[in-house]
Amino acid sequence: MLQNTTRAHLALLATNIIYGANYIIAKGIMPNKIGPSAFIFIRLSCCVLLFWTFKLLFVKEKVAKKDLLKLALCGLFGGALNQMLFFHGINLTSPIDASIIQTAAPVLVLIFSFFILKERITKNKIVGIALAASGAIFLILYGNKTQGTSSFLGNLYVFLNAASFALYMVLAKTLMQKYNALTVISYIFLFGFIYVFPFGINDFLNTNFEAFTTSTYLTIGYVVLFTTFLAYLFNIYALKYVMPSVASSYVYLQPVVSFVLVSIIAFLFVQSAYAQDISFIKILCCILVATGVYITGKREKKPTK
């Protein structure tokens, strides 16, 4: 029998492989088959039903009224704004760019923790933040000058998505300690759906569903069932047995998965636009971001007396 910690690491591995594949899978049907806002509307509405069904069946827990405002803020940054920014960003830019920029999220969590939770920033963290930020910022600016599917605006959206999700993680920290994770996620998706509804309902109603193919439905199903529902459940399970810092370190797998999938599509299926997405500059940016986040999470040696 596998130990709980081993299962937790396998869950985190599966989660980040799912996320890494999502960059190119979700992009595959936007905007030709469905617009980003309509896609988010479908994702949130389906997952609200899934999460609340599981909550009502397995978690009999009430939320205090005083915590509803914090849950509403978490729903804004972790359920609505980050998804709107991500899907509109990936619609405009390269899957590789998006996956690299996303790895800056742990550093952004650290920055928000410093201002909100008063967490101490060490020398390692300062150096790490500088390296990761330089890689992400350079890649955002580079997206406006390169060929392929890169885009300055798309890269900026993805970066703001990472910032939004990082802020959500800091705000949700106290809630995750107080309530069952499934309870928190259920309310986050409920509030997120409420925020997105006015922006997504028209695009959803105007979507030409007759043009959908089997591939389109499979892509939407992947995003709903794997990228959202299963990935969140895997994370919930893993966080019972490993520290959040360990869980967040798995984000470095996402650019690797994205690089592999883009390379397969570019060279096996002769997609020239994706082939142009792979460049030395982007590899360098990936190394800068990954190195920066590694240094940020590295423990400093205590001075010997």
Q: Tell me which of 58-62, 82-86, 213-217, 292-296 is least confident.
A: 292-296
Q: Cβ neighbours of residue 228 under 8 Å, at least 6 residues apart?
A: 43, 47
Query: Looking at the predicted structure, is the pLDDT value of residue 118 above 90?
Result: no
pLDDT band of 300, cuts 50, 70, 90: low
Q: Tell me which of 214-218, 280-284, 300-304 is least confident.
A: 300-304
> Is pLDDT larger for residue 101 or for residue 199?
199
> Is pLDDT larger for residue 286 or for residue 111?
111
Distance CA 82, CA 157 (A): 9
pLDDT band of 66, cuts 50, 70, 90: very high
pLDDT band of 107, cuts 50, 70, 90: confident
Dihedrals φ, ψ of 3, to 5°? -70, 160
Q: What is the pLDDT of residues 21-31, one digit of tens each?
A: 888 888 888 88
Q: What is the pLDDT of residues 40-54, one digit of tens each?
A: 999 999 999 999 999
Distance CA 216, CA 63 (A): 38
Query: Looking at the predicted structure, is the pLDDT value of residue 176 above 90?
Result: no
- Residue 305: the pLDDT is 47
- Residue 187: the pLDDT is 95
Distance CA 72, CA 78 (A): 10
- CB-CB contact of 56 with 180 (8 Å): no
Q: Count the helix, strand and coil residues of the chain and give each as a percent rounded to the nearest 5.
A: 80, 0, 20
Name the E strands within the chain.
none
Which structure tokens are listed for 55? 């909550």
Mean pLDDT of the chain: 82
Mean pLDDT of 206-219: 93
Query: Looking at the predicted structure, is the pLDDT value of residue 262 above 90?
Result: no
**One-letter identity of residue 216:** T
- Residue 61: the pLDDT is 92
pLDDT band of 206, cuts 50, 70, 90: very high
* Rounded CA Rg of the chain: 19
Mean pLDDT of 99-122: 78
- Residue 189: the pLDDT is 93
> Is pLDDT larger for residue 292 or for residue 273?
292
pLDDT band of 301, cuts 50, 70, 90: low
Distance CA 175, CA 186 (A): 12
